[in-house]
Amino acid sequence: MWVKGEIIHNLNKAHGGVADALTRNGQPHLFDRLTWFKLLWIHNDIGARPLIARSWAQGARCWLFLAEQKRGQATALANYYTLAFRPVFTGGEENGTRHALLVALARRLRHGSLRLHHISLAPVPVADGSADLIARAFRTAGWHVYERMATMNWTLNVNGRSFDDYWAERPGELRATLSRKSKKSDLGVEIHKQIIPELWAEYESIYAESWKPAEGSIEFLHAFAKNEARYGALRLGIARHEGAAVAAQLWTIEPGVGGPRAIIHKLAYRQSAAELSPGTILTAAMFRHVIDEDKVALIDYGTGDEAYKADWMEERNPLMQIDCYNPRRLAGLAGSARLRLRALARRGGRD
């Protein structure tokens, strides 16, 4: 197979003349769309410049969106808002084509003019085959590749259940907490599909008084929410006590593969309202809405392995960090050697 490719540094030219390839129409996964990468770049301090590797052959295309760092290093064009990072494809589903496209990219990234010695990619899903595909392709292209667990991702396959069916299968303690607190808290729940200034001000106020760390870019999150609202994909939940907003959750509904997918992006409640359990009450209301009204096939609880997620979800999937070192460069050989020695030391400790 003859594969062509190029390296570009301009996100506005990433689509390569294929208008819908990287849009909502062409990419069912939120984190594979050009709009997502542009928002990340505009609102977050991610790197020195974008580094986009692109290849194509036989009607299939592949992109790898990177952020070039200083001194010969590049990372995934991602940050903690990104719940999954992987190569982006159009076409080429048959065995071997996507591997060949990604091998071509990996070889091009080893080119001397780029001076790259280290590429770090995370969080890369295992469940959809992305981690294996990346590791095999970069090894074939001559990189030294090391994989390690970065974090976990919890999901729920709805499998046609109603919310009531799903809820009946939850742990008894969780169901009892919701029942008890719902009777005592007197919370009202609203689920909005549009953003207005007053609602967003309430979200920011709740977040500022929550246990959560400061946002990397509240401007990014606002721009993202407004963009999703344009397509009817936003679900902004607000819980109120005596009229005051005490909890907020930002979800989106994406087309997904095999049916709509609900993604939980941000959860927060005021610490002063913790005794009301507003987080539990609002989460249950959001689950009921997306299951019974949006008819989602899957709910994605994002990154993190917090124990409470096991009460709500049913599948636990690893997300990997993949480090690729270029042995053509001394810094690449040195980095590879350091990781190899660490791996041997850990293995020796276990033995």
Same domain for 214 and 145, yes or no, is no
Query: 68 and 21 in one domain?
Result: yes
Q: Is residue 302 part of a domain?
A: no
Q: What is the CATH number of the domain that holds 51?
A: 3.40.630
Q: Which helix (H) or strand (E) holds 31?
A: none
Specify whether 287 is located in the same domain as 196.
yes
Length of the chain: 351
Whether residue 197 is contained in a domain is answered as: yes
pLDDT level of residue 350 (50, 70, 90 thresholds)? low
Whether 324 is covered by a domain: the verdict is yes
The reported pLDDT for the residue numbered 54 is 96
pLDDT at 80 over 90: no
Shared domain for 148 and 8, answered yes or no, is yes
E strand or H helix at 152: strand 144-157
Q: Which of 288, 214, 208 is nearest to 248 (CA)?
A: 208
- CB-based contacts of 336-344 (< 8 A; 24+ apart in sequence): 336/144, 336/146, 339/146, 340/146, 343/146
- Number of domains the chain is built from: 2
Task: Please tell me the predicted confidence (pLDDT) of residue 17.
Answer: 80
312 domain residue, yes or no:
no
Asked if 133 and 169 sit in the same domain, the reply is no
* Residue 198 covered by a domain: yes
Identify the residue whose tokens are 């019974």.
292
Q: Please check whether residue 220 is in contact with residue 44, taking contact to mean a CB–CB distance below 8 angstroms.
A: yes
Percentage of the chain with pLDDT > 70?
Answer: 98
Checking if the pLDDT of 58 tops 80, the result is yes
Mean pLDDT of 298-324: 96
In a domain? residue 181 = yes
Taking 90 as the threshold, does the pLDDT of residue 112 lie above it?
no
Answer yes or no: is pLDDT of 21 > 80. Answer: yes
Residues 68 and 96 in one domain: yes
Considering the domain architecture, whether residues 126 and 166 belong to the same structural domain is answered as no
Query: In CATH, what number is assigned to the domain containing residue 186?
Result: 3.40.630.30
pLDDT exceeds 90 at position 326? yes
- The answer to the question of residue 307 being in a domain is no
pLDDT in the model for residue 93: 78
- Identify whether residues 167 and 277 lie together within a single domain: yes
Same domain, 110 and 184: no
Question: Is there a single domain that holds both residue 167 and residue 48?
Answer: no
Query: Mean pLDDT in the chain?
Result: 94
Question: Do 8 and 144 belong together in one domain?
Answer: yes
Asked, for residue 306, whether it belongs to a domain, the answer is: no
pLDDT at 74: 98
Q: For residue 109, what pLDDT band results from cuts at 50, 70 and 90?
A: very high
**How much is the average pLDDT of 187-210?**
95
pTM of the model: 0.94
- Are both 266 and 333 inside the same structural domain? no
Mean pLDDT of 236-242: 97
Helices (H), 117-171: 130-140, 163-168
Instruction: Tell me the residue range of the domain where 255 lies.
Output: 159-296
Instruction: Give the mean model confidence (pLDDT) for residues 118-122.
Output: 98
